[in-house]
């Protein structure tokens, strides 16, 4: 019985190839799409026709300086105040003195001169303790400017003179020359800012001024 079934399957078996059954898809409504030929790449050498000047003309670009907004200044105030409190808490007075100086400058830009004066005094106190003469001179000059804005010109000139004496005693020659100019302008105009309507003749060179001082 098994042999008979084997012979039967051998007679009725078909090929396992998939090519034995063919269906014409056009009769079912399907269309054969045309395969387009591949286009050849275009050779374009238009860049080589451009005339490039090997020596471009030199011109000066004026930088655009944007004033800081009120929001930016208030954010800077909060950040510097946070740093100052941190450094004071851990008794890092040398860093805190610069924090107070930066905070005072922010208040100057906000035109809050009373608060700026107070923080310049804090920075000045710490810089004196740390013997940071550069910061001490900067604090005194900035403090003088704030006092001028507050109308205390007598005390402002005293701060300029003190800053000049500190710079002279510590060999800060460039600062001495700059402070002499500020004191001279202060005596002439009552302010440390040169009057834009008045043009002064050029002074002697810095090297000559140093020889005169010493």
Residue ranges of the domains in the chain? 70-195+202-213
Compute the average pLDDT of residues 149-161.
94
Task: Note the pLDDT of residue 186.
Answer: 92
**Cα–Cα distance for residue pair 126/97, rounded to 1 Å:** 6
Average pLDDT over residues 78-101: 94
pTM over 0.85: no
- Which residues have a Cβ under 8 Å from the Cβ of 97 and sit 6 or more positions away? 122, 123, 126, 127, 130, 132, 135
CATH 3.40.1280.10, applies to 70-195+202-213 = no
At residue 137, does pLDDT exceed 80? yes
Listed residue (194, 132, 186) closest to 158, CA to CA? 186
pLDDT digits (tens, 9 = 90+) for 31-74: 667 778 887 877 776 766 666 666 656 667 777 777 778 888 88
Neighbouring C-beta atoms of residue 115, cutoff 10 Å = 16
Q: How far is CA 5 from CA 15, 16, 64, in A?
A: 18, 20, 98
Secondary structure (H, E, C), 84-133: HHHHHHCCCHHHHHHHHHHHHHHHHHCCCHHHHHHHHHHHHHHHHHCCCH
The HSE-up count of residue 120 (CA atoms within 13 Å, CB side) is 25
d(CA 31, CA 92): 85
Is residue 194 within 8 A of residue 171, CB to CB? The reply is no
* Residue 103 to residue 123: CA distance in whole angstroms: 10
Task: Tell me which long-range contacts 26-29 makes (C-beta under 8 A, separation of at least 24).
Answer: none
């Amino acid at each position: 019985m098994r042999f008979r079934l084997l012979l039967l399957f051998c007679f009725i078996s078909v090929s396992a190839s998939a090519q034995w059954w063919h269906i014409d898809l056009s009769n079912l409504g399907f269309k054969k799409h045309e395969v387009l030929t591949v286009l050849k790449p275009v050779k374009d050498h238009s860049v080589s026709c451009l005339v490039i000047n090997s020596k471009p003309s030199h011109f000066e670009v004026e930088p655009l300086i944007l004033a800081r907004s009120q929001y930016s200044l208030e954010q800077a105030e909060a950040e510097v105040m946070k740093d100052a409190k941190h450094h004071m808490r851990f008794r890092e007075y040398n860093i805190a003195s610069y924090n107070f100086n930066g905070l005072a400058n922010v208040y100057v830009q906000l035109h809050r001169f009373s608060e700026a004066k107070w923080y310049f005094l804090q920075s000045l106190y710490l810089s004196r303790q740390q013997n940071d003469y550069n910061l001490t001179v900067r604090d005194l000059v900035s403090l003088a400017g704030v006092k001028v804005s507050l109308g205390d010109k007598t005390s402002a000139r005293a701060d300029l003179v003190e800053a000049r004496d500190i710079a002279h005693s510590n060999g800060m020659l460039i600062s001495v020359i700059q402070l002499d100019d500020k004191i001279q302008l202060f005596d002439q105009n009552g302010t440390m800012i040169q009057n834009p309507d008045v043009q002064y003749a050029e002074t002697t060179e810095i090297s000559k001024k140093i020889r005169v001082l010493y």
